[in-house]
Amino acid sequence: RVLSLELNKDRDVERIHGSGINTLDIEPVEGRYMLSGGSDGVIVLYDLENLSRKPSYTCKALFSVGRSHPDVHKFSVETVQWYPHDTGMFTSSSFDKTLKIWDTNTLQPADIFHFEGTVYSHHMSPVATKHCLIAVGTKSPKVQLCDLKSGSSSHILQGHRQEVLAVSWSPRHEYILATGSADGRVKLWDVRRASGCLSTLDQHNGEKSKASSEAANTAHNGRVNGLCYTNDGLHLLTVGTDDRMRLWNSSTGENTLVNYGKVCNESRKGLKFAISCGCNPEFAFVPYGSTIAVYTVFTGELITMLRGHYSTVNCCVFQPHFQELYSGSKDCNILAWIPAPRETVPDDISEKSLPQQHLNPAYEDAWSSSDDEG
């Protein structure tokens, strides 16, 4: 289904945003409600379900935190995320130096955290049961941890040298956090440890590079502005402004050296990309100018480029229940990418009489049933 993703002519997402869309999130419980955050501070909540039951339909906006809302973000919303365990709460962070915890039903902030600098990214763990920490990446090199239970944001992780552009909790271990910074480094942390930092990923895998020692222990030769774990948490995918994407073994910290070729990345802030879920093989969906590049995660093959936006794509999010993709762009549009319907084969044609060359070689059987090969 992912291999046949195409822009769906029959499904629109209601256009509410009057400026670029930076971030999208689909709630993990039902996979039905989607949040978007815009450059003008506006947040919109959509219902993705087709309530009309007609083939052509528009995903309606249920409500929005618009410019006239008393608690609207003053500047660009960079990250929105649903509370992982139910849809009663969501979070948003902004260039206005705040992180807001929203009550979905009243559309009022239940809590607001203030920071000294611009907020680029935040993330809540999808698996945590023993803590309620939100990791926050800001203009400061210190990673902030906000505790939802106590309302305090006193916990910090020190080690980066420049602003922190991307943060992501492991979907496998609730205390493990990955952070990416403008200093070219990706750090893995165990937030229970006093020193915090478990390791700093090294693109050269510890082999002293011919470059200066300063270049040692960098994940990218540019700003690291995107991070995404695979769903099993065993690997971490990173992107940087060196136009590279790298896949890391998250337990050993080793660079797997998968080559994705040149992955154009001119974003001055965080880049929100997605990895498929429940697919074999897994795919990465990466904003690439005004298109979305689809790669196989473990072989690095560029499968296709999804074209449809008129301007820079800032974010994409995967809907695992139906293998659908949604993308947000500077062109103010959210596009839905849906697997193309399969051609149905009439019952009276037996499979044997169909030409066999339609089969993708990746799915062909490699074994032979003839006896004379024994």
pLDDT value of position 104: 96
Only one residue has tokens 């649903």, namely 82
Q: Which domains does the chain have, with CATH numbers?
A: 2-339 (2.130.10.10)
Q: Are 123 and 137 in contact (CB under 8 A)?
A: no
Question: Structure tokens of 278?
Answer: 């429940």
- Residues 237-256: tens digit of each pLDDT: 999 999 999 999 999 999 99
Q: Are 279 and 323 in contact (CB under 8 A)?
A: yes
Query: What distance in Å separates the CA atoms of residue 128 and residue 122, rounded to the nearest whole number?
Result: 15
Only one residue has tokens 């979305």, namely 292
Is the previous residue joined to 281 through a cis bond, with omega within 30 degrees of 0?
Answer: yes
Angle, CA of 249, 174 and 202, to the nearest 5°: 30
Spans of the chain below 50 pLDDT: 351, 353-357, 361, 363, 365-366, 368-369, 373-374
pLDDT value of position 362: 52
Instruction: Kindly report the pTM of this predicted structure.
Output: 0.89
Question: Structure tokens of 326?
Answer: 């949604």
The SS3 assignment for 352 reads helix
Only one residue has tokens 């509410």, namely 16
Query: What distance in Å separates the CA atoms of residue 138 and residue 258, rounded to the nearest whole number?
Result: 30
Q: Are 237 and 284 in contact (CB under 8 A)?
A: yes
pLDDT value of position 346: 61
135 contact partners, CB below 8 Å, separation of at least 6:
122, 123, 124, 143, 144, 145, 167, 168, 169, 177, 179
> Which one, of 190, 252, 181, lies nearest residue 218 by Cα?
181
pLDDT value of position 278: 85
Question: Structure tokens of 24?
Answer: 């999208």
Only one residue has tokens 């910290």, namely 253
Count helices and strands (H / E) in the chain: 0, 29
Sign of torsion over alpha carbons 325, 328, 333, 334? positive
pLDDT value of position 348: 58
Cα 10 to Cα 58, 148, 291, 325, 358: the distances in Å are 8, 40, 20, 15, 26
Question: Structure tokens of 164?
Answer: 């922190």
Cα 173 to Cα 145, 236, 330: the distances in Å are 17, 13, 35
pLDDT value of position 374: 47
Query: What distance in Å separates the CA atoms of residue 82 and residue 179, rounded to the nearest whole number?
Result: 20
- Residue 84 carries which side chain, given as an amino acid letter? P
pLDDT value of position 236: 98
